[in-house]
Amino acid sequence: YEFFLSAARRIGARAVATAHHADDNVETILYRIVRGTHLRGLAGIPAVRRLGGSNVRLVRPLLEVTRAEIEAFLRARNLAWRQDSTNADTLYRRNFIRNELLPLLRNKLNARADDALLRLSAAAAEAEEFLAAQAGELLGNAWRAAGPTAGEIDLAALGEAPPILRRYVVRGALERVGAPLRMIGAERLMQLGALAAPGGSPTAVTLPGGFRIRRVGESLRIEPVSDVDAAEPLTAVTLCVPGVTDLGDGRSVICEVEPFDAEAFRRHCLHRPDGEELLDADAIRGRLLARGRQRGDAFVPLGCPGRQTVSDFLTNAKLPRTRRDRAVCISDETGLVYLAPLRIDDRVKVTAATRRVLRLRLEEIEDRRPTAPARTALPS
C-alpha cells in the first residue's frame, strides 16, 4: 500500500481501487477470529479507507460480490482473467483457509458458513461504528490540539465513560495526529486505555510510528518523538517455536517448522513474501530470542563476503533511520540468525543437506492478544 500511495501521489490520483471480493473478506474474518482480534478486526476488510493518513482513498468496489459471481460475469462476456499460480499452494495461510479450512467448515458444520461469517462481521461493524461515534463526541469535547501531530485529551471531560469508550477515545486521538493504528494492536490499546482510566499512573509509552503518549495529571498527551529522543528499545522476547510471538511494538514473529520441500523452497525464492525467510531448522542452536539491535552486533549476511556489523549492514543498505531503528535481531545461543526483515546469517541458510526448515516471518499486526508461552528450543 505504500507503493500505491506513492504512485497515486505521483500521478495526482485521489483514489486507488483494488479487486478484493466477498470471499477475500470471509477468509480475512476467519483468519482474524482464529488468530485473535477485536471489533475493528472482526468487521473485516473496509470498503473505503484512507491510505496512510493521506487524502488518497483506498476503495474496494467488489467487496460484496463473490468470486463465483465475478467469474460468471466474465464467462458470460467471454472475458479472460489471470489466475495467480500460487493460489493452490497451501503453504500460504490464506490459501490454507480458502482451500482446506473453509471447505471443511462448509461440509461438516454449516453449508452457509461464509454467510454466517459475513453476518457476524456486519454486526461487529455496526457495533464498531456506534462506539466510534460515541467516542468521537467525547473526543470533540476533550481534545486540545497542539498542532497537526500533537495534542492532549482532557480526561475530566470524559466524565463517567466506561473503559471501552475511553479506549475508543484514545484511538480516535491517535488517528487525529496521524499515528499508524495498523501498528498499534488491541493489547497496546488496552494499555493506553488504562492510562486514560480514573487514577491511571503517569506512565509514558512510546508507540510505533514515532509517537509518545503520557499521562500528566488529568490529561493524556500525545506527541511525536523527536529525532534526538532515543527510540524505545525492543525488549528481548523468547520466540515460541512453533507459534506466534507478540513483540509488544505492533509486530509479531511467526515461526513454523516443516519438512524440507525442494519445490516449495524454489517457489519461496521466486516469490518471497516481505519479512519472511526460510532457515535450516537443524542449524539453530537452542532457543531463539528477538530483540532490538545493540552496539557490536555482527553477522555474516547471506550473499555478502565476510562478517559485518549490523550497523554497517544497515548503513550500506541505505535505509532511513526509522527503518534501521525498527530492525529486529533474532538470535540463537550461537549468535544472530536473522536481521529481520532484511537478511539471514550464512550459517543457517538452506542447503542440499537440509532436512527441516524453520519459516520465520516478521509481521505488522492490526489486532492481537497474548500468545501462548514460548518454548525454549526447536522441537525435535
206-231: pLDDT as tens digits: 777 778 898 888 999 998 875 434 44
User: Which residues are CB-contacts of 276 (< 8 A; sequence separation ≥ 6)?
Assistant: 268, 341, 359, 360, 361, 362
Mean local confidence (pLDDT), 48-63: 89
Q: Which CATH class is domain 129-224?
A: mainly alpha
**Residue-wise over 72-91: b if at least 16 C-beta within 10 A, else e?**
eeeeeeeeeeeeeeeeebee
Question: What pTM was computed for the model?
Answer: 0.61
* Measured CA distances, 170 to 28, 101, 242, 246, 280 (Å): 26, 36, 34, 22, 43
Ordered DSSP codes for 280-302: EGGG--S--EEEE--TT-EE-BT
Terminal-to-terminal C-alpha distance of the chain: 39
Compute the radius of gyration of the chain from its Cα atoms: 23
User: Which residues are CB-contacts of 249 (< 8 A; sequence separation ≥ 6)?
Assistant: 183, 208, 232, 234
Q: What pLDDT score was predicted for residue 91?
A: 67
- The CATH label, of 3.40.50.620, 3.30.2290.10, 3.40.50.300, 3.10.450.40, for the domain at 2-80+90-111 is 3.40.50.620
Secondary structure element (H or E) that encloses residue 321, with its range: helix 321-325
72-105: pLDDT as tens digits: 999 999 999 988 777 777 767 788 899 999 999 9
* Alpha carbon distance 106, 108 (integer Å): 6
pLDDT mean across residues, the chain: 86
Q: What architecture is domain 237-364?
A: 3-Layer(bba) Sandwich (3.50)
For residue 14, give the DSSP letter: S
Count CB neighbours of 56 within 10 A.
20
Q: What pLDDT score was predicted for residue 216?
A: 87
Q: Contact 248/237 with Cβ under 8 angstroms? A: yes
Q: Contact 272/347 with Cβ under 8 angstroms? A: no
309-350: pLDDT as tens digits: 998 888 887 776 667 778 899 999 999 999 999 999 999 999
Q: What pLDDT score was predicted for residue 322?
A: 67
Would you call 252 helix, strand, or coil by DSSP?
strand
* Alpha carbon distance 96, 323 (integer Å): 31
Q: Contact 257/288 with Cβ under 8 angstroms? A: no
> Where do the domains of the chain lie?
2-80+90-111, 129-224, 237-364
HEC string of 53-115? Answer: CCCCEEECCCCCCCHHHHHHHHHHCCCCCCCCCCCCCCCCHHHHHHHHHHHHHHHHCCCCHHH
Q: Do domains 129-224 and 237-364 have the same CATH topology?
A: no
